[in-house]
Amino acid sequence: MEALFAVTLGILSASGVYLLLRARTFPVVLGLTLISYAVNLFLFAMGRLHSGAVTVIGQGGAYADPLPQALVLTAIVIGFAMTAFVVVLALRSLGETQSDHVDGREPGQ
């Protein structure tokens, strides 16, 4: 299971970086979203993968660590706010420059 997590994190991170390096706003937003998902999975995997662990201390010897779950919940909220901000910023840039290129200029001009 850990190998599957590592491969998934690698694919999400590589795809996110590839899309971030594109010069258009929509792929940049998708790249940021994929990197956000990769970070969420990484934070969730920090707490180790336990099956059958109880969630409340006192009912068993091994319990699930709530810290990675709280970090992932916080990262989801921050990622949603960041995505909304970047979309609004991209729409404003598109309206002002009439181009969806990230620096406002088309290549070759």
Task: Please check whether residue 16 lies inside any domain of the structure.
Answer: yes
**Has residue 102 been placed in a domain?**
no
CATH number of the CATH domain containing 92? 1.10.287
Residue 41 binned pLDDT confidence (cut-offs 50, 70, 90) = confident
24 part of a folded domain: yes
Is residue 57 one of the residues assigned to a domain?
no
pLDDT at 106 over 80: no
Q: What is the pLDDT of residue 61?
A: 62
Condensed to tens digits (0 to 9), the pLDDT of residues 9-36 reads: 999 999 999 999 988 888 988 999 999 9
Yes or no: say if 78 and 30 are a contact pair by the CB < 8 Å rule.
no
Q: Determine, yes or no, domain membership for 91.
A: yes
Residue 27 located in a structural domain: yes
Give the integer Cα–Cα distance in Å for 49 and 25.
36
pTM of the model: 0.75
Domain of residue 90, residue span: 2-50+64-97
pLDDT for 52: 63
Q: How far is CA 86 from the centre of its chain?
A: 13
Q: Per the structure, how many domains does the chain have?
A: 1
Asked if residue 15 belongs to a domain, the reply is: yes
- CA dist., res. 67 & res. 72, Å (int): 9
Q: Which residues, at least 6 apart from 60, have a Cβ–Cβ distance to it below 8 Å?
A: 53, 54
**CA angle 88-15-78, nearest 5°?**
40
Residue 81 lies inside a defined structural domain of this protein = yes
